[in-house]
Amino acid sequence: MKYFGESAQFEYKEESIKADRLMRRGLYKQAIDLYESSFSANSDNCYLHTRIGLCRIMLREMERAADSLARALGYNHYNCEALLASAYLDLWNSRTHIALGKYARILKLDPDNYFIKNLLQKLKKTEKIEQLVLEKSPLYFISNPSFFYRLSFFFHILGPFRPALAVSLIIISLLTFGLYYFKNPGIADIFKKKQSADLQIVSGNAPLPDTETLRSMEEIMLFDEPKAGPKSSELVRYFNNMKTCIKKRRINEAIIIFNRVIQSDANILIKEKFNLLSRYIPEPNFEDFTFEQRIDEITKNDENKNIFIKYAGVASQVEHSSVKTKFSFTIEENGNYTATADVIFTPALAQPPENKKKYFILGRYIGFQIKAKKIIIKGLAIRPF
């Protein structure tokens, strides 16, 4: 995209580079302070005002963001980045016709703009342009210019060796990526932006993704802070906790974290990263579970033992998270006491299975409540049969 117009002739200060990094990390107020300190006679004021406007959009300071973007377009009304951010702001304020006009102007300036082309194709199927654009962060389609500035300066120094070096770098990059891809086939899943329809939780004892893959997924989450639901800092914490649970084989906790994110308002790309990580949740040993619809007797001495229960449930029950069955137990307190209690499973399932198929709901007995006449079962996993 032609984001920067003629900005290559301007001085790109170290403060701006630091501000770009802060913005990518979600520290928008600190980024604004650095951008404002970068203004000078030789600076690209259009670029700086655009970045300040983007930060203010992320902080939901819409009026101040509009003022910054208006100043940016005053310096250079052909700047695609400023137009793109301004169109986002128009959609936010329900000025759809103005936003469409700006998208048309961007397409004239940059006919190969992937975002606009993709948007226009989707608009042929639906008229909900606000939903198509506003569900993404305004930073999602904005690139980082510092890399390109440094790269162009580097090639400028090399002089006559630039063509040979450029070809060599391309060949080395392709070879490196090819070797890395074949060594780590799971890396291809990072580039899949379409949410998978199959959110199967348990898929065997696969090894954890390599460190570089996990780091890439964490970096993507920082770019896509949702308007509602968990914030980026919470998502990163969930992601790290889920990795720890997988490494320590705390299966139930990993599934609970996974469900919390999948059922939240986080955007589709973030959910896909968690879905990718969920494939590495180890499968429990199904031989430890006894298939019984009733437990005839549980005594108080059994409280600290691992008693596993396997219950055959159907999807309609799982969907409402209220799988109930009757269990009888004996409590030895001031003599024998026998009662029948309801056991409520809370299965760990991201979404109901299709076609109302039967599933095994697995749980571990961890205690009982005398007054409530309730046996406590902790749901572990689900597998079809």
The Cα 82–Cα 46 span in angstroms is 8
Model confidence at 318: pLDDT above 50: no
> Greater confidence, 191 or 78?
78
Task: Identify the band that residue 44 occupies on the pLDDT scale cut at 50, 70 and 90.
Answer: low
Specify the pLDDT at position 63: 77
SS3 content of the chain, % helix, strand, coil (to 5): 55, 15, 30
- What pLDDT is recorded for position 52? 81
pLDDT reported for residue 132: 52
Q: What is the pLDDT of residue 56?
A: 78
pLDDT per residue over 119-178, tens digit each? 666 655 555 655 555 555 555 445 444 444 445 445 555 556 667 777 788 888 887 777
Instruction: Give yes or no for residue 254 having a pLDDT over 80.
Output: no
Q: In this predicted structure, what is the pLDDT of residue 313?
A: 53
Helices (H), 93-225: 96-109, 114-123, 129-134, 145-158, 162-183, 211-223
Confirm whether pTM is higher than 0.85: no
pLDDT tens by residue, 320-369: 444 455 555 554 444 444 555 555 554 444 444 454 455 555 565 556 65
Find out whether 331 and 370 touch, Cβ atoms under 8 Å: yes
> C-alpha angle 66/68/72, rounded to 5°?
110
In Å, how far from its chain's centre is CA 358? 30
Answer yes or no: is pLDDT of 309 > 70. Answer: no
Dump the DSSP string for 325-353: EEEEEEEESSSEEEEEEEEEE----SSPP
Extract the tokens encoding 174. 């392709």
